[in-house]
Structure 1
Amino acid sequence: MQEVYHLQYAMDTFYFLVCGALVMWMAAGFAMLEAGLVRSKNTTEILTKNVALFAISCIMYLVVGYHIMYGGDWFLSGIQDVDVASTLSDFEGREGGFEGGSIYSGASDFFFQVVFVATAMSIVSGAVAERMKLWAFLAFAVVMTAVIYPLEGGWTWGGNDVFGMYNLGDMGFSDFAGSGIVHMAGAAAALAGVLVLGARKGKYGPNGEVRAIPGANLPLATLGTFILWMGWFGFNGGSVLKLGDIANANSVAMVFLNTNAAAAGGAIAALILARILFGKADLTMLLNGALAGLVAITAEPSTPSALGATLIGVVGGLIVVVSILTLDKLKIDDPVGAISVHGVVGVWGLLAVPLTNDGATFGGQIAGALTIFVWVFVASLVVWLIIKAIMGVRVSEEEEYEGVDLAECGMEAYPEFNKN
């Protein structure tokens, strides 16, 4: 019988690792999406940020963040070698072995969690693009991944109380894979940064008119969107936490199906609404619509029907178009639409959970969303202001005009072409 238990342990651990690898691949998606939606003179810097933030996330979550979120020893962050005897004893205490809960390597759990942290930080990168100092951004990444995200993650997935007062899960709050915990949190940090930073030069006219600043490489942005779409199967699918029995295998399959359906619904809804509003098919709205559908379904991809998931994605696709236009009217300059995609639609994803999951309540979802947003936004705003006071957050007007590639990295991504 021990062979059966070993098999389940190995299966669940391997599934966790594969899904984590898919989520890690989303880092490439963010890098390509953002590189495609900024001007060519800012491409090297945005790529540098995406690689560096991933590395920072891995280190800071290992040293500090995982401990704050889930407890355990400092530096090693609670990642312990597996006690084979106790693990087998745990399995043997269950009827049916495979029918029990998920048990997997602690290292696989850390790996799966750390790529989520990097995802939250990647959201910030695009929103502050084209005018932020590289090292100011990286300084913020240290604090975000070490403290700000792990604290709110601990109040939800970690089961910790909010500053010792109450636990969000006990209030009826549910977020299956992170519409609020990951995506809205990243958008809240991004919003704080954008407000401190200000808009790009030339984005808004003297009379409040909005001037489009097109990205330099839409094929690259499209590739990034498809990479993110693919990686999202690991993001949501891995959050089932288990594969080794019929019920959970069916749940994983449903999560994959619903994730894909919501993305498709969001993409088509955004495309149609953009056609109605602009008279043309807008590729950037189509891409953001697909991502909005993915964000919307992330809070609960296991309980809706496939049609229900599609409709959740449709609403997300509509919301993101309206939100992008609204933020522009408010002169909140977000070059890639990250605040709308991950923040505004993340709220919709949380509110949609009680429609199909009886374990969640609208009151609990609202309370959880407000708690996460207020904490991340206020904490991020304080950190951004401290960084601004110490080293500044924005490049000079001349450096912004020439492009932050030369100012911050000393090299261009497309040296053989004229800058846009």
Structure 2
Amino acid sequence: MGKKLLAAFSFMVLLFPTLAFADDATPVQLQGAINAVWVMLAAILVIFMQAGFALLEAGSTRMKNAGHVAGKTVLTFGICAIAFWAFGFGLAFGDGNSFFGTTGFFVTGLEDQAQRAFGALSGSDVPIGIKFLFQLAFAGVSLAIAFGGFAERAKLPVYFIFGLLFTIVIYPIVAHWVWGGGWLSKLGMQDFAGSTVVHLQGATAALVATLLLKPRLGKYNKDKTPNLIPGHNQVLSVLGVFILWIGWFGFNPGSTLSAMGDGYFGYIAMTTNMAAAAGAVAALIVSWMYFGKADIPSMLNGVLAALVAITAACAFVDAWAAIVIGAIAGIITFFTAQWFERAGIDDPIYAFSVHGIAGIWGTLSTGLFATPELAEKAGVGGAGLFYGGGFHQLGVQALGVFGALAFVLVLSYIVLMIIKAVVGLRVTEEEEIIGLDLSEHGSYGYPEQMKKSGNNSLSQ
């Protein structure tokens, strides 16, 4: 009993300074502190999505590449963090022109730099260091999506070079157009948390890489018919998707940059969740009808596609519309994935179907379903076609999709062709056969299992 009393007393002693501060703080200071904690929590959730990508991609690829696929997630986020700190954040959110920022490089984390360089972020009272971490998390997600198209056949140096250049010369430019006061922002493009800025950019880079790297060995027969190359662990993939689903509650609601007011961030969390649920159910049902069996990977892709689609629309649409958007995303992602595979495009984790096609649909959907009240509340754009807004908002959304897609397509192609000429893109056939775990890192992610089964099978 004495130990319990001592513990309670110690807790009160520790808590007392906090309570004293709360008594002395002004309402404005308390509001700022609450918002800062909320956005920091959201940043942590989005950064933790990297763990979801690691599990999803490792589970969706072969055992002989599992350690490489998971490990490069850590490497690429580290590269992204340094490049975004030095140049990316300033190019995306620094004061500049309609196309890119020209201030705020080498982020200090101090408010004097924020006041001088980041006018686009001045509407929030969250400290600039936390804003940087939050936006870094988004850039990291986009890069992780891009590298899905490189899986199981790209050289390790490619991740270093492309990761650096994507974070500096590709991602932040489109981010500035939409979120940093650029030309699409001035037109009123609605992309609340990044269906285009984050997902379509990453997916487009992944598509270019997939086309340049060409299919994995053994994926297609001489008559061009595809062979199934299943991932080695569906349980890891399921766990990865659940982590991503949870992380999205930082991704979308966190983009309010505020926990104050009438619970707007809670509404956004609700629309996000309803879309994801609809995508899971719709994709599983359509796979069941198509294959005659309920396909688990298709269901997982349906969840992610729905989350990608609702990312643009979550703050602008009613709950019923979120369900429709999520269900349609799950269905179109399933069929486009089948089409790409039959067309000879070997996208190992279906990055363009899940993040690209769904990103396009989600961005366009606000031009259909955005309500006047929610558009006014968000302070961006206007009502969609189905709510009396005519074709104006839909046209702005389509222009934004086309502009981002074309820009990333061209820049990614140029960057990857330069890398191909300098260091090459793809590992040798021998290295691909034995697996990137061994050829790039000198050890397997599953050493005991690989020693038992041998390392010369293409199917492992």
CA contact (8 A) 1:46 1:125 kept: no
Q: Deviations over 1:340-372 (max 9, x none)?
A: 000011000011012232425111011100111
**Residue deviations 1:261-304 (CA, integer Å, cap 9, x gap):** 10010011110000011000101000000001100100010232
Question: AA paired with 1:234?
Answer: G
Which stretch of the first structure deviates more once superposed, 357-366 or 282-291?
A: 357-366
The alignment partner of 1:299 has SS state of: helix
The alignment partner of 1:377 has SS state of helix
Work out which of the residue numbers 420, 428, 445 in structure 2 matches 1:388: 420
**Aligned residue in 1 for 2:289:** 276
Q: Confirm whether residue 335 of structure 1 aligns to residue 348 of structure 2.
A: yes
Name the SS for the 2:59 alignment partner: helix
Match of 1:80 in 2: 110
Deviates more, 1:338-347 or 1:100-109: 100-109
Calculate percent identity across the aligned residue pairs. 41
Note the C-alpha offset of 1:135: 1.1
Q: Which amino acid aligns with 1:335?
A: P
Q: CA deviation at 1:245?
A: 2.0
Matched, 1:21 2:44: yes
Contact 2:368 2:394 in 1 (8 A): no
How far 1:77 sits from its partner (Å)? 3.2
Q: Structure 2 vs 1, CA of residues 281 and 306 (structure 1 numbering), >3 Å: closer, same or farther?
A: same
Cα deviation, residue 175, structure 1: 0.3
Distance across 2 between alignment mates of 1:239 and 1:322: 31
Contact 1:34 1:221 in 2 (8 A): yes
CA distance in 1, matches of 2:29, 2:267: 26
Q: Which runs of 5+ in 2 are unaligned?
A: 1-23, 96-102, 116-121, 373-380, 383-392
Q: Does 1:148 align with 2:148?
A: no
What is the DSSP-based 3-state SS (H/G/I as helix, E as strand, rest coil) of the residue aligned with 1:205? coil
2:11 is matched with which residue? Answer: none
* Aligned counterpart, 2:218: 202
- The runs of at least 4 aligned residues of structure 1 exceeding 6 Å deviation read none
Give distance in 2, aligned partners of 1:23 and 1:113: 10
1:101 deviates by 5.5
Counterpart among 393, 411, 417 of residue 379 in structure 1 = 411
Is the contact made by 2:363 and 2:401 (CA closer than 8 Å) also made in structure 1? yes
Distance 2:200 2:108 in 1: 27
CA distance in 1 between partners of 2:409 and 2:37 (Å): 36
Q: Structure 1 residue 131 and structure 2 residue 153: aligned? A: yes
Where does structure 1 lack aligned partners over 5 or more consecutive residues?
Answer: 87-99, 161-166
Instruction: Determine the C-alpha separation between the residues in 2 that align with 1:71 and 1:124.
Output: 24
Supply the RMSD in Å over aligned alpha carbons. 1.8
Equivalent pair of 1:266/1:290 in contact (CA under 8 Å):
yes
- 3-state SS of the aligned residue for 2:252? helix
For normalisation by structure 2, the TM-score amounts to 0.84
Alpha-carbon distance, 1:82 to partner = 6.3
For 1:411 and 1:279, how far apart are their aligned partners in 2?
39
TM-score by length of 1: 0.91
Structural mapping, 1:173-192, within 5 Å: 173-192=189-208
Matched residue type, 2:86: V
**Corresponding residue for 2:6?**
none
2:289 aligned with 1:289, yes or no?
no
Distance (whole Å) between structure 1 residues aligned to residue 256 and residue 104 of structure 2:
28
**1:408 equivalent in alignment to 2:431:** no
Q: Which has the higher contact order (CA 8 A, sep 6+)?
A: 1
CA distance in 2 between counterparts of 1:66 and 1:170 reads: 20
Aligned partner of 1:107 in structure 2 is: 129
Q: Which moved more, 1:393-402 or 1:70-79?
A: 70-79
Q: Distance in 2 between matches of 1:62 and 1:13?
A: 19
Whether 1:325 aligns to 2:324 is no
